[in-house]
């Protein structure tokens, strides 16, 4: 059936049995595709039935569905005319692993960060109300995202009159916990079709009785609510004016259909609390949901990853170094925002449990929490992906830099990030952070430098930033570099002098380009920064003077980057030399592999070499 579905309209007339068969096909397609391409598996398998019912019930694209983070949107993509392209998921020029409003009219927003869907949904629903539209807006939010403060800011702004449905996908914890088997039985009754039919008929009949009808309805509602509170905690949402439905099994098509229809019939702001099984339908993912949350290609039968001889990456090296430092210093604390495994801190969490803090998906809180630790004499290290650090800009300025406090920001996934797309690139952190006072930024090229940088950072005095990419560094001949304080220098060849200024993992490509230029009769020099900001320009300028061409190579955005800052210093010092910058222009790179990024944006050794030859 799946290959014949081109829009949600194609499932409108399906019965529960047909939807169940379709759910099996969807799961099979998701598992087979993710096993080849990698991606988010567990959350997508858990959301199959809920997504099917939502697309059957609502009229897309007139009605809008927003998936928070949107990593659980694979079923949505399969139902919205992307079956034929689904095999290209996360591949170059293929479809994104997240919703993307430029990819399909059925994708309301381009999303990849947590906590934003409800705020946007309220805005959309409010606009529809102002236009007197009968369109409905749906925000699908996982329980993990409910640890994000932005969700609570949005809840405070919810209006009961909005045609807004919030789907709380509870796949790990219970927001409204029940007590005992009787409560579970009552929950089944309250989410059945007969219950809602009885409730509507009761209200219809008694509302027609003069004088006492509405009072009788109110009395029975009061008795019902009192009885419910005997077995359930009062839902958090109802005092906010948000009508609560559930909890209901989000993988039970029949019961879910009943509850969502009733919730939609309210024509008001409602929250439907569903419980789903992460990894449902694939035993390996059900038994180990954390491993299969986001995974690379794997063997469907064994569940084992297909990647052979995986090299240790910067994340794993960071975790080991942190354990070594913490063993010697009891003031070292590690903080992460729901990314313990991704940032390499699993071993630290086991060895130093009382000094490890997972604050949930709350990067802003993570930084200000760290400032409190620092105020009381501890040394906090915040491990966070570069893309998510964008959310902490206010806290870094107001709660850390302004206070002249010492914390360490360990920025994982800096630079190009493979396969994840526009929302997850780490190319903005340098331009963003280098504008903050009282900051030191270091960008190690390899594990030895990572250790040196982290040791300097934890015993520094300012906001200390150590940024590093995803994956392992390239191994090449390093003995030719001469150490000079916070930067290294390489010289090769003779003739016209080209000076490269660069940092981080891209240095390897610059090195290969410099070697080729030296072989072509040029004097190639590399200034490889380790501490990239602030730059000791007085030392660097002696290596720039007399050059015929200075080429800046920076794996980040050009505007506001280190290249422009050094170029400004050169102009102020009167260094009159031809210059060029290889960096990322104002754009959002799409999903592809790192080598493909380098090819597209001119970072390969060959393209760096050709750029210099053309410019000198």
Q: Name the H helices within 177-301.
A: 180-190, 193-206, 213-231, 253-265, 283-287
The whole-number pLDDT of residue 183 equals: 41
CA distance 27 to 399: 46
CB burial of residue 429 (10 Å; 0-12, 13-18, 19+)? buried
* pLDDT score for 230: 46
Answer whether 125's CB lies under 8 Å from 134's CB. Answer: no
Contacting residues for 301 by C-beta, under 8 A, at least 6 apart: none
d(CA 69, CA 71): 6
Q: Residue 295, Cβ neighbours under 10 Å: how many?
A: 19
Cα distance between residue 259 and residue 192, in whole Å: 7
| pLDDT (0 to 100) of residue 180 | 43
Q: Return averaged pLDDT per consecutive 10 residues of the chain, 616 residues in all.
A: 94 96 96 94 94 97 95 96 95 94 96 94 96 96 86 91 93 43 44 57 64 62 54 66 88 93 92 91 89 88 76 94 97 95 95 95 95 97 97 97 98 95 95 97 97 97 97 87 92 94 97 96 96 94 93 96 95 92 93 94 97 94
Give the pLDDT score at 211: 64
Query: In this structure, how many other beta carbons lie within 10 angstroms of the beta carbon of residue 512?
Result: 17
CB of 313 within 8 A of CB of 471?
Answer: yes
* Strand 578-584 to 531-533 pairing: unpaired
Residue 307: its pLDDT value, please?
A: 65
Task: Note the pLDDT of residue 185.
Answer: 39
Nearest to 298 by CA among 90, 36, 39: 36
Helix or strand holding residue 273 (H, E): strand 270-275
Q: Evaluate the omega torsion of the peptide bond into residue 603 and state whether it is cis, within 30 degrees of 0.
A: no
For the chain, domains (ranges, CATH) are 2-177+237-284 (3.40.50.970), 184-232 (no CATH), 314-467 (3.40.50.970), 482-615 (3.40.50.920)
Nearest to residue 448, comparing CAs of 317, 312, 315? 317
> Helix, strand or coil for residue 142?
strand
* Residue 292: per-residue pLDDT: 87
- Return the sign of the alpha-carbon dihedral for residues 118, 120, 123, 126: negative
CA distance 542 to 330: 42
Distances (CA, A) of 408 to 17, 223, 356, 485: 55, 55, 14, 21
Please tell me the total number of residues recorded for the chain in this structure: 616
Dihedral over alpha carbons 335, 336, 337, 342 (to 10 degrees): 180
Q: Report d(CA 464, CA 461) in Å as an integer.
A: 8
H or E element at residue 363 = helix 363-375
Beta-bridged to residue 335, according to DSSP, are 357, 382
Distances (CA, A) of 150 to 147, 156, 185, 354, 446: 9, 10, 34, 28, 36
Identify the CA nearest to 585 among candidates 614, 554, 606: 554
């Amino acid at each position: 059936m799946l290959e014949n579905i081109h829009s949600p309209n194609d499932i409108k007339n399906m019965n529960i049995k047909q939807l169940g068969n379709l759910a099996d096909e969807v799961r099979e397609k998701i598992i087979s595709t993710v096993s080849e391409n990698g991606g988010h598996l567990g959350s997508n398998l858990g959301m199959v039935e809920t997504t099917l019912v939502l697309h059957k019930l609502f009229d897309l694209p007139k009605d809008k569905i927003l998936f928070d983070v949107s990593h659980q949107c694979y079923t949505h993509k399969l139902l919205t005319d992307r079956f034929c392209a689904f095999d290209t998921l996360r591949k170059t020029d293929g479809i994104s692993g997240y919703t993307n409003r430029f990819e399909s009219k059925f994708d309301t927003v381009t999303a990849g960060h947590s906590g934003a869907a409800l705020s946007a949904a309220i805005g959309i629903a409010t606009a529809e109300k102002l236009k007197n539209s009968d369109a409905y807006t749906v925000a699908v939010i996982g329980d993990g995202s409910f640890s994000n403060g932005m969700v609570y800011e949005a809840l405070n702004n919810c209006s009961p009159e909005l045609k807004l449905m919030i789907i709380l996908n509870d796949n790990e914890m219970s927001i409204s916990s029940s007590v005992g088997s009787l409560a579970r039985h009552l929950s089944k009754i309250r989410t059945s079709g007969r219950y809602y039919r009885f409730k509507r008929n009761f209200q219809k009949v008694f509302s027609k009785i003069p004088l006492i009808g509405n009072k009788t309805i109110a009395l029975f509602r009061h008795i019902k609510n009192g009885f419910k509170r005997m077995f359930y905690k009062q839902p958090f949402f109802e005092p906010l004016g948000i009508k609560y439905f559930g909890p209901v099994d989000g993988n039970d098509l029949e019961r879910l259909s009943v509850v969502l229809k009733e919730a939609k019939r309210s024509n008001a702001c409602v929250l439907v609390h569903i419980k789903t099984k992460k990894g449902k339908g694939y035993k390996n993912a059900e038994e180990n949901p954390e491993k299969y949350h986001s995974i690379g290609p794997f063997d469907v039968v064994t569940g084992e990853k297909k990647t052979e001889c995986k090299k240790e990456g910067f994340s794993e090296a960071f975790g080991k170094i942190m354990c070594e430092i913490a063993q010697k210093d009891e003031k070292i604390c590690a903080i992460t925002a729901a990314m313990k495994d991704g940032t390499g801190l699993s071993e630290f969490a086991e060895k130093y449990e009382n000094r490890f803090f997972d604050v949930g998906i709350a990067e802003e809180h993570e930084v200000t929490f760290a400032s409190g630790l620092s105020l009381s004499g501890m040394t906090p290290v915040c491990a966070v992906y570069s893309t998510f650090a964008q959310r902490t800009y206010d806290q870094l300025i107001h709660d850390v830099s302004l206070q002249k406090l010492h914390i360490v920001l360990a920025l994982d996934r800096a630079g190009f990030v493979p396969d994840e797309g526009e929302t997850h690139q780490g190319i903005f952190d340098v331009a963003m952070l280098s504008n903050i006072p009282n900051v030191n930024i270091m960008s190690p090229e390899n594990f030895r430098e990572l250790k040196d940088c982290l040791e300097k950072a934890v015993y520094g005095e300012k906001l200390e930033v150590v940024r590093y990419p995803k994956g392992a560094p390239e191994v090449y001949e390093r003995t030719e570099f001469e150490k000079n304080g916070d930067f290294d220098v390489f010289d090769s060849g003779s003739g016209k002098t080209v000076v490269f200024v660069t940092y981080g993992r891209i240095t390897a490509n610059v090195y290969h380009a410099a070697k080729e230029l030296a072989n072509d009769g040029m004097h190639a020099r590399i200034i490889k920064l380790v501490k990239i900001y602030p730059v000791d320009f007085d030392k660097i300028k002696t290596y720039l003077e007399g050059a015929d061409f200075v080429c800046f190579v920076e794996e980040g955005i050009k505007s506001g980057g280190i290249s422009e800052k050094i170029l400004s210093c050169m102009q102020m010092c009167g260094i009159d030399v031809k210059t060029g910058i290889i960096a990322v222009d104002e754009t959002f790179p799409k999903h592809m592999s790192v080598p493909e990024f380098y090819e597209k944006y001119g970072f390969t050794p060959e393209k760096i070499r050709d750029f210099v030859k053309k410019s000198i």
